[in-house]
Amino acid sequence: MLNYFRRKRRDRWLAQHPIADELWLPVTTMPVLKNLSVSELARLRELAAWFLHTKAISPKGELIFSDPMRVILAAQAVLPILNLGFEAYDDWQEIIIYPSQFLAHSRHIDPIGVVHEGEQLLAGQARGDGPVLFSWHDVMEGPWLDGWNVVIHELAHKLDMRNGGHANGYPALHHGMNHDDWKSAFSDAFAHLESLAHSGEPSDIDLYAATNPAECFAVLSEVFFERPLLLQETYPAVYTQLAQFYKQDPVERLHPLRYRPVPHFYEAFL
């Protein structure tokens, strides 16, 4: 019942506060949103409006965070939850945004148990205790279909954290998804990425994915939305799992020709 009233209140607010056309229409030309249907874009616009209404965005340094900048951030941020609903981001509230890459305290334990602490220059960070941090410069680099998207990366970590507070590459799966299938798809991909990282062989997929299973899930989520065909051809089982997890099929959206039968008039030339 509570959810019903919350939803009603949200729908009422959204009906009264749409993102203005002059802010929204330029954003729909971002490559990462290419070929979304009219109804998907309408849903994305509502999610983006609610995102900007409910998340506190704190710019740092000399950054003046204008309305067009807010919409560019929000449209990328809600793409992963287009078919999951806004509740998927309900458990965190704050975004801190820096003009460019920023120094953050880092701590990790290596495979032999040694703790490494220090400061690291970051494009983004999803903190387990709440806020998500971004470099605006990197947010602006995000929407190209090149496999790099700091917004999708950090928010994948946030989705991963929903079932236990820390990211480990094993987010809560939807009803009907199989844990063994997820585990086997991702551990095979991770092992392969690790072997590439150790051998020094080139890779089209950022080998930061070989850092640990949490980074593997976040990096492959970026590739899923931005270079889906590469992911489907390299790690088809991971593509299938992510399509079920995000409830989207970006290969079908971004590469529709793959699915179209050859038109008759071409057959004469084959």
Q: Which is nearer to Zn ion, 217 or 235 (CB)?
A: 217
User: CB under 5 A: which stretch of 79-87, 173-181, 210-218, 235-243 binds Zn ion?
Assistant: 210-218
Report how far apart the first and last C-alpha atoms of the chain are (Å, whole number): 61
Minimum distance of Zn ion from residue 40's CB (angstroms) = 27
Q: Residue holding tokens 């983004």?
A: 124
Main-chain phi, psi angles of 167, to 5 degrees: -80, 130
Other C-beta atoms closer than 10 Å to the C-beta of 229 total: 14
Minimum distance of Zn ion from residue 24's CB (angstroms) = 29
Residue 122 binds to Zn ion (criterion: CB under 5 A): no
Minimum distance of Zn ion from residue 178's CB (angstroms) = 25
Q: Which is nearer to Zn ion, 71 or 231 (CB)?
A: 231
Residue among 68, 80, 73 at smallest CA distance from 98: 73
Residue 209 binds to Zn ion (criterion: CB under 5 A): no
Beta strands 102-109 and 56-59 are unpaired
Minimum distance of Zn ion from residue 138's CB (angstroms) = 12
Is 230 in contact with 223 (CB distance < 8 Å)?
Answer: yes
Q: Burial, 168: exposed, middle or buried (Cβ in 10 Å; 0-12, 13-18, 19+)?
A: middle
Q: Which is nearer to Zn ion, 46 or 215 (CB)?
A: 215
- H-helix or E-strand containing 122? strand 115-122
User: CB under 5 A: which stretch of 51-59, 137-145, 213-221, 229-237 binds Zn ion?
Assistant: 213-221
Residue of closest CB approach to Zn ion: 218
Among residues 81, 97, 218, 220, which is the contact residue for Zn ion, using CB under 5 A? 218
Minimum distance of Zn ion from residue 17's CB (angstroms) = 32
Angstrom distance (rounded) from CA 144 to CA 33: 10
Q: Which is nearer to Zn ion, 70 or 157 (CB)?
A: 157
Residue 223 binds to Zn ion (criterion: CB under 5 A): no
* Binding footprint of Zn ion, residue count (CB under 5 A): 2
Q: Which is nearer to Zn ion, 24 or 224 (CB)?
A: 224
Angstrom distance (rounded) from CA 194 to CA 245: 24
Q: Residue holding tokens 């949490």?
A: 214
Helix ranges (H only) for 55-120 are 67-78
Strand order in the sheet with 56-59: 56-59, 94-98, 132-135, 124-126
Q: Which of residues 246-265 bind Zn ion (CB under 5 A)?
A: none
Minimum distance of Zn ion from residue 180's CB (angstroms) = 25
Minimum distance of Zn ion from residue 88's CB (angstroms) = 18
Q: Which residues bind Zn ion (CB under 5 A)?
A: 215, 218
